[in-house]
């Protein structure tokens, strides 16, 4: 079961990305300037990153985690030679930003821990897609929407 999930992780992320793009363009007119090619690359990378976070579970042995990583890694290698660099960038940005949010003691992140995952991820996506640091209220709403879309189906991928 988990091996099949590893094989289908990237295709599921790609399908989710296509669906998410359409809904984002409808809700956020500024999103229509985003390159579909960039979206089709960055969204799956972010979704796979989210799924890999849940591999750090005591329910999954180190050996099985390694096997699953090799399976989805082979699928990603066939898809893009650049995925690993983007994945590392996403992870570095995510952990740095998530740590800062946690240390901020902002009630929004204490009361809704899911935003502590979705907002750093959404920030990474929006920043890379727009090419600048998101700052306006609409850009901040876009961050949350994009981040939630990338996390909702993938945070519990291995459950």
Q: Has residue 79 got a pLDDT over 90?
A: yes
C-alpha neighbours within 13 Å on the C-beta side of residue 146: 29
Higher-confidence residue: 74 or 22? Answer: 74
Q: What is the DSSP letter of 32?
A: G
Average confidence (pLDDT) over 52-61: 88
Tell me the two tokens of residue 35.
């390159």
Q: What is the pLDDT of residues 95-146, one digit of tens each?
A: 999 888 877 777 776 677 778 899 999 999 999 999 988 888 988 899 999 9
Q: Has residue 3 got a pLDDT over 80?
A: yes
Q: Is 154:48 a contact under the CB 8 Å cutoff?
A: yes
Residues 6+ apart with CB under 8 A from 75: 6, 7, 9, 10
Domain chopping of the chain, boundaries = 2-152
Q: Is 46:121 a contact under the CB 8 Å cutoff?
A: yes
Per-residue pLDDT at 30: 83
Q: Is 148:126 a contact under the CB 8 Å cutoff?
A: no
Query: If we measure between CA atoms, which residue out of 42, 44, 2 comes closest to residue 125?
Result: 42
Q: What is the dihedral of CA 144, 118, 38, 90, to 10 degrees?
A: 140
Per-residue pLDDT at 25: 92
Query: If we measure between CA atoms, which residue out of 112, 119, 127 comes closest to residue 98?
Result: 119
Q: Has residue 87 got a pLDDT over 90?
A: yes
Q: What is the pLDDT of residues 34-52, one digit of tens each?
A: 999 999 999 999 999 999 9
Tell me the two tokens of residue 111.
């009361």
Query: If we measure between CA atoms, which residue out of 155, 141, 130, 11 comes closest to residue 76?
Result: 11
Q: What is the pLDDT of residues 13-30, one digit of tens each?
A: 999 999 999 899 999 988
């Amino acid at each position: 079961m988990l091996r099949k999930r590893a094989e289908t992780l990237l295709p599921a992320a790609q399908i989710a990305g296509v669906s998410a793009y359409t809904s984002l363009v409808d809700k956020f007119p500024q999103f229509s300037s985003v390159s579909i090619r960039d979206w089709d690359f960055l969204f799956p990378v972010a979704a796979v990153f989210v799924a890999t976070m849940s591999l750090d579970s005591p329910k999954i042995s180190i050996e099985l985690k390694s096997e699953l990583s090799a399976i989805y890694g082979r699928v990603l290698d066939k898809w893009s030679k650049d995925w690993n660099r983007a994945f590392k960038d996403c992870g570095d940005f995510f952990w740095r930003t998530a740590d800062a949010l946690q240390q901020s003691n902002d009630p929004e992140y204490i009361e809704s821990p899911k935003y502590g995952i979705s907002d750093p991820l959404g920030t990474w996506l929006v920043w890379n897609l727009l090419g600048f640091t998101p700052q306006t209220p609409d850009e901040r709403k876009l961050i949350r929407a994009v981040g939630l879309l990338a996390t909702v189906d993938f945070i519990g991928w291995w459950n």
